[in-house]
Structure 1
Amino acid sequence: MQRVNIIGAGKVGRTLMTLVAAAPELELGDVLGRKPLDGSNATAAVGAGRGVTGIGDLRPAELWVLSVPDDRIEPLAAELAERLDRRSTTQTASVIHCSGFLSSDVLTPLRALGWSVASCHPVLGFADPHLAAARFPGTLCAVEGDPAAARCAEGLVTALGGLPFAVDPERKALYHAAAVFSNNFATVLQALAQEAWAEAGVAPDIAARLGNSLLAGAAESVARLGPAEALTGPAARGDQNVLQRQRASVAEWRADAGPLYDTLSRMARQLKTDGVTGP
């Protein structure tokens, strides 16, 4: 059985804790949060693991997972390397972080101690840890790093029911931007649509139903047909009269939304005609 220590008891950390605790071949080890009681509170909620209050309390484990915000990963790796070195530990292990933006190279201080390092980014929304844990089976997870740690990350993903895939560490910023386009910006566009419907006098409950229905239909069509074939609307049809009048209406409502409508309409038209959104 492989012991897994987790540093970071936020939404991603709690999701992983729940999944690790439920995996027969894994053991949830020590959990360290940002605040002294975060680890204990998180392990109590999951019913497994041991919450600790500081790095010095962390016991050895075969795999360490850093589920902390991006800007904390590099300093945390440096602190871990310093503290573990001071303890004169002879254990070598694998350590992974969960950032979709940063490569495994930010863990270099631990690599210098003989540890194997990697990154593992689950392509999943973690707004609700309970929902994220329930939806995790089948989730694609981007993995890159040293061979030993990458194998550990792939094994972890598989044990949790996910599907690992390789990503180029030199292109992680672009890879993560793609996820932002696919998920975060789609959410922003849904909010913008809700606001536009409200301005047009549509009742909030009806606007919510409209957005949910259209989004679900779009997701189903893209999954079945691909983006180019799934695309509909005035840009896909090349209806310039509608596009011009809609753009004017949008710009009158919100000046910052007019150029956005123009850009997305141009990309939509090119996607429909050429199969790509740009040159």
Structure 2
Amino acid sequence: MVRVNIVGAGKVGQTLMLMMAGLDGVIVQDVLSQRRESALRATELAKTGRAVDRIADMRAADLWLLTVPDDRIAGVAEKLAGSAAPGIAVHCSGFLSSAVLGPLGAAGWQVASCHPVLSFADPQSAAQQFAGTYCAVEGDSAAVQAITDLVARMGGTPFAVNAQQKALYHAAAVFSNNFAVVVQGIAQDAWAAAGVPQDVAKALGDKLLGGAAANVARLGPQAALTGPAARGDTEVLDAQGAAVTAWHPEAGQAYRVLSDLGWRLKQTGTTKGDA
């Protein structure tokens, strides 16, 4: 039986609790959050675990999952190092490496990080979508093995990531997901400014984004890229860039930078200039 304690009962913690609640051989023991009400809601939602008020109230466990915001991980590690017997601790930040758990490592713990590449806007939806989710893992060998086994049992796909490049790794996820959403927002604003009806603009965005995603998945970014930047059509790029800048200066800057990167990607297969 793998005994798991949860520190942090937010959306990530709730999702993982929902996933573990149905696993044989895994038991969620104690759940701690900044507010007891949050821990209680999490245990009620997942129908597992016991809400507690302090780290000192938490029982010994085989695995501690620290699902708190990034700026609280180090502080929780310090408190845990001084309050509990050494074990295995894993945080779920995509930006920070396992090194942030240094106080635990110094106290004899095995530590790791595990970042599920998934939107946690709604824990129940996230739990339903978790199967096949890629999870970036790095850290001490015993901790990596423990969290890798648990992720696999929950239906996720663990993979190794360079601990020294966690910030770059997470930035890649931001480019792939968050910034793609921002770009769609710019497109919707531009269509509105051009007089395109809202329902048509939405349909256009859905169709183009869906097609782009399918082509990238099938062909890769270089082959999937089309449009004036891919063709090197400088007259269109210059005129269109000026029009966008006149309408929305910040979007105009983005248009010019992305056009330059697009041309480079099409010619070389990479956006980096020193390739």
TM-score of the superposition, structure 1-length normalised? Answer: 0.94
Deviation, structure 1 residue 220: 1.0
1:21 counterpart residue number: 21
Pairing 1:122–2:116 present: yes
Spell out the pairing of 1:210-249 with structure 2 (5 A cutoff).
210-249=204-243
Give runs of aligned pairs for residues 65-214 of structure 1, distance below 5 A. Answer: 65-84=65-84, 89=85, 92-214=86-208
1:6 aligns with 2:6: yes
Do 1:29 and 1:49's aligned partners in 2 also have CA atoms closer than 8 Å? yes
Deviations 1:105-158 (A, max 9, x none): 111211222211000111111112222111111111111111100101101110
SS of the aligned residue for 1:117 comes to strand
Question: In the alignment, is the contact (CA less than 8 A) between 1:157 and 1:163 conserved in 2?
Answer: yes
Q: Secondary structure at the match of 1:256?
A: helix
Once the two structures are TM-superposed, the CA of residue 273 in structure 1 deviates from its matched residue by 1.1
Distance 2:105 2:208 in 1: 48
Cα deviation, 1:143-177, whole Å, max 9, x if unaligned, reads: 11111001011011101111111111111111111
Residue 104 of structure 1 deviates from its aligned partner by 0.7
Residue identity matched to 2:36: P
Q: Please tell me the residue identity of whatever aligns with 2:11.
A: K
Partners of 2:114 and 2:147 within 8 A in 1: yes
Which segment drifts farther, 266-275 or 29-38?
Answer: 29-38
Name 1:264's counterpart in structure 2: 258
Whether the aligned pair in 1 keeps the contact of 2:117 and 2:134 (CA below 8 Å) is: yes
Residue 96 of structure 1: SS of its match in structure 2? strand
Q: Deviations over 1:197-246 (max 9, x none)?
A: 11111222222222122111111111111000111111112222221121
Residue type of the partner of 1:12?
V
Cα distance in 1 for partners of 2:66, 2:199 equals 41
Q: Take 1:10 and 1:150, find their aligned partners in 2: how far apart are those partners?
A: 23
1:51 matched residue in structure 2: 51
179-188 or 19-28, larger mean C-alpha shift:
19-28
The alpha carbon displacement at 1:26 in A equals 1.6
Q: Contact between 1:5 and 1:63, CA under 8 Å: does it hold in 2?
A: yes
Amino acid at match of 2:53: T
The CA distance in 2 between the partners of 1:54 and 1:212, in whole Å, is 47
| RMSD (Å) for aligned C-alpha atoms | 1.2
User: How far apart, CA to CA, are the structure 1 residues paired with 2:37 and 2:58?
Assistant: 14
Residue aligning to 2:31: 31
Instruction: Give the Cα separation in 2 of the matches to 1:226 and 1:31.
Output: 43
Q: CA separation in 2, counterparts of 1:23 and 1:228?
A: 42
Structure 1: unaligned runs, 5 residues or longer: none
Structure 2 counterpart SS, 1:191: helix
Could you tell me how far apart the structure 1 residues matched to 2:98 and 2:179 are?
Answer: 26
Contact persistence 1:37–1:53 (CA under 8 A): no
CA distance in 2, matches of 1:203, 1:57: 58
**Number of residues paired by the alignment?**
273
In structure 1, the residue corresponding to 2:118 is in which secondary structure?
coil
| 3-state secondary structure, aligned to 1:37 | helix
Query: Deviations 1:173-194 (Å, cap 9, x if unpaired)?
Result: 1111111111111111111111
Q: Would the aligned equivalents of 2:36 and 2:51 in 1 still touch at CA under 8 Å?
A: no
8 Å Cα contact 1:36-1:54 kept in structure 2: no
Residue 3 of structure 1 contacts residue 63 of structure 1 at CA under 8 Å; is this kept in 2?
Answer: yes
